[in-house]
Chain A
Amino acid sequence: MKRIPTYFLRIAFALALAAFLLPGPVSADEIKLVGVITKIDIAGPDAKTATATLTDNKTGEAVTVIVNDDLTLDKFKDHRIVVGDEIRLKYEVLDGKNVSKYFRKTAGC
């Protein structure tokens, strides 16, 4: 077997770690919250959009967002994200509607 150069693995590891230190772009219009999903509306396996309602952990208020990204839609469709899951959400208000920009289960194991 050809040897796997360990220095390559070391450099790749260092680069990946460094990427985490890069600050991501932040939009002033973005709203962030952490909350629990109380409702998901998605129209079948071919749906290109869905709405999810979350209860904000801090305020207790319900927030409904439109979800358009394929990653999250796939997780709704195959139940990797379900009602009761806690979500870290980032959204923008566009034309009076809350549109999800980041929809991910709160990290932890």
Chain B
Amino acid sequence: MRGKAAVLIAAMLLAALALPQAVRAADEDIQKKVDALSKEVQDLQRQVAQSKEGKKSVSDWLTIGGDYRFKVDSLRGKVADFFPFTGFDPLTGAPVVGPLQNEFTVKNDSILTNRFGLNLKAKATQNVTVTARLLMYKTFGSQDDSAVTGLQSFDQFGNKVISPFFGDRVGVFDGTQGHVPGDGRLTVDQAYATWSNILDQPIWFSVGRRPSTGGIPTHLRQNNEKPGNGGIPGLLVDYAFDGAALGYAPDIDVLPGAYAKLCYGRGFENGITANGGNGLKDTEFLGVSVTAYDTDRLYLNLQWDRGFNIFDQPVISGKSFFGFSVEPRVDLGDIDWYGITALSTLKNVGPGTLNLFATGAASITNPNDKRTLVTPSFPGVGLLLGPGETRSKKTGEAFYVGGRYDFNKSRTKIGAEYNYGTKNWIGFVPAGDDLITSKLGTRGSVYEAYLIQELNAAPISSYFAKTFLRIGYQYYDFKYTGSNNWVGAPVKISDLGNPQNAQIFVPLKNAQDLYATMEVKF
């Protein structure tokens, strides 16, 4: 009994000794809260005073955000048996074909990249905003795009030779600036002004460098918010365009969230010429996008686009191909695209949220009689047309399906995707966020699975601030050559053992990318 009392007393003494500490801690806590509240009141008073004086605080009109991404990719690929096209005979102009290259594997065990984006949105005047996104994307240990533009080797004189795999990764150009690792400069990815509520109607006009990359449903694998009504369908367009949009969002009860817009873009500016021209035209782009339904449960978009006067190759500064600079030399015709995209977000499916999407598209070429790579002994190639092939329309199709399940409590997201493109599929998607080639322009299949783990950290900079880790795997199974390239006729990979099917690009049979990222959105 005495022993128990002693323990009790000792406990009481300890508690008594600890009590002032606890009280002091509580007092300090209250004082901190009072200080914080006082500061808030002062801020509010200042804001009210400013408001009365007609002044605005910066946060009233300017929104700043952005993102940082570190990514490590481990790349593997298998090159098919093929005959390489090595250039033209300088005397006759005849194409020179090298000896058969037997199947071999290529790899880069690790390529590390940094990407940084800074977003600004300014409410300039009533109904007018200016939005900008500045973007830097570079490879560790490199100040150019050479790490992602092809197969590296040295010639007999010790000069470095880079043999590209795909047309969209020959080098960084206007449509891929900031979306393919480049020289590390901060470039203007987006800069546009938007005039809303025109004539007091739900009509808007927007002009500038457009938000025409990362469209629905590619935002899911990027763990981005769903793009707003400035966005584009990801399977059809992923290209940093300079252009404009005129939109209308009517109030139709049976079509909640519906809107439509007319989009314009210029893909190439031909510059000043004599009255007769220089044989080239500006490359233009026109699109009509109808989002018939836009709710969480269902997003449904239909789109028609036409690219006019499609150039044979974009301007890629500092690059040459068989001794020729890489720049447009001829326009090859027009391409039409039709697409349909459906996206659904279903909440409270089990312990989380289920996102599902399906999108399909068709591309139809309308070539002219012009050809590129023409020499006295070579008839050249056209818009999906091989050497000597007469003018004919080519129709390609593609689809892209997948989903992502979000575990709300643990902030874990698991996703899987599949896309397929037929022989003549050509998207306008070179800015796709894939190192090997933009996966949605693939002629063949691409499988991708990923896991995203968001950190359980309260957002500070904005409601949407978050930090997450992402690991994923992509497998490309190429069925035809020329993915993401509209010049020349696609050839079945299994037919490349024929010297008549000699290839300018190194034809990959398959490729894999195992990647991991650490990403911060602020």
Partners in one complex: yes
For residue B259, which residue of chain A has the nearest CB? A107
A-side contacts of B195, CB under 8 Å: 108
Query: Is B211 located at the chain interface by the 8 A CB criterion?
Result: yes
Given contacts A9-B339, A74-B296, contact A4 B204 (CB under 8 A): no
For residue A20, which residue of chain B has the nearest CB? B260
Pair B292/A16 contact, Cβ less than 8 Å? yes
A-side contacts of B247, CB under 8 Å: 107-109
For residue A34, which residue of chain B has the nearest CB? B197
Interface segment, one of B21-29, B248-256, B466-474: B248-256
Given contacts A13-B302, A16-B290, A20-B260, contact A109 B230 (CB under 8 A): yes
Cα A22 to Cα B251 in complex, Å, equals 10
A-side contacts of B211, CB under 8 Å: 109
For residue B200, which residue of chain A has the nearest CB? A34
User: Smallest CB–CB gap between B307 and chain A, Å?
Assistant: 16
User: Smallest CB–CB gap between A71 and chain B, Å?
Assistant: 6
Cα A58 to Cα B361 in complex, Å, equals 44
B-side contacts of A104, CB under 8 Å: 249, 257
Pair B204/A107 contact, Cβ less than 8 Å? yes
Could you say which of B127, B260, B290, B397 contacts A1, with CB atoms under 8 Å apart?
A: B397
Pair B60/A84 contact, Cβ less than 8 Å? yes
Give chain A's interface residue range (CB within 8 Å of chain B): 20 to 34
A-side contacts of B177, CB under 8 Å: none
Could you say which of B203, B248, B288, B302 contacts A12, with CB atoms under 8 Å apart?
A: B302
Could you say which of B255, B364, B463 contacts A79, with CB atoms under 8 Å apart?
A: B463
A-side contacts of B251, CB under 8 Å: 24, 90, 102
Q: Mark B177-208, 1 if CB is under 8 A from A, else 0.
A: 00000000000000010111100101110100
Pair A108/B194 contact, Cβ less than 8 Å? yes
B-side contacts of A96, CB under 8 Å: none
Given contacts A19-B292, A20-B248, contact A13 B303 (CB under 8 A): yes
B-side contacts of A109, CB under 8 Å: 131, 192, 194, 204, 206, 211, 228-231, 245, 247
A-side contacts of B399, CB under 8 Å: 1, 4
B-side contacts of A6, CB under 8 Å: 338, 362, 364, 395
Cα A90 to Cα B251 in complex, Å, equals 10
Query: Is B295 located at the chain interface by the 8 A CB criterion?
Result: yes
Pair B229/A108 contact, Cβ less than 8 Å? yes
Query: Is B505 located at the chain interface by the 8 A CB criterion?
Result: no
Query: Is B368 located at the chain interface by the 8 A CB criterion?
Result: no
User: Smallest CB–CB gap between A29 and chain B, Å?
Assistant: 15
Within 8 A of B (CB), among A16-59: 16-17, 19-20, 22, 24-25, 34, 57
Cα A74 to Cα B202 in complex, Å, equals 22
Could you say which of A4, A82, A84, A106 contacts B362, with CB atoms under 8 Å apart?
A: A4
Given contacts A71-B295, A82-B463, contact A108 B255 (CB under 8 A): no
Given contacts A82-B463, A107-B196, A108-B247, contact A13 B304 (CB under 8 A): yes
Cα A104 to Cα B464 in complex, Å, equals 19
Query: Is B483 located at the chain interface by the 8 A CB criterion?
Result: no
Cα A24 to Cα B202 in complex, Å, equals 14
Within 8 A of A (CB), among B40-92: 60
Cα A4 to Cα B337 in complex, Å, equals 12
Query: Is B275 located at the chain interface by the 8 A CB criterion?
Result: no
A-side contacts of B361, CB under 8 Å: 4, 9
A contacts, CB < 8 Å to B: 1, 3-4, 6, 9-10, 12-13, 16-17, 19-20, 22, 24-25, 34, 57, 71, 74, 79-80, 82, 84, 86, 88, 90, 102, 104-109
Q: Besides A86-B196, A102-B251, 8 other CB < 8 A contacts?
A: A9-B361, A13-B290, A20-B252, A24-B252, A24-B253, A88-B202, A106-B202, A109-B230
- A-B contacts, 17 listed (Cβ < 8 Å): A6-B362, A6-B364, A13-B290, A13-B338, A16-B292, A24-B251, A24-B253, A88-B197, A106-B196, A107-B202, A107-B249, A107-B259, A108-B194, A108-B195, A108-B206, A108-B247, A109-B231
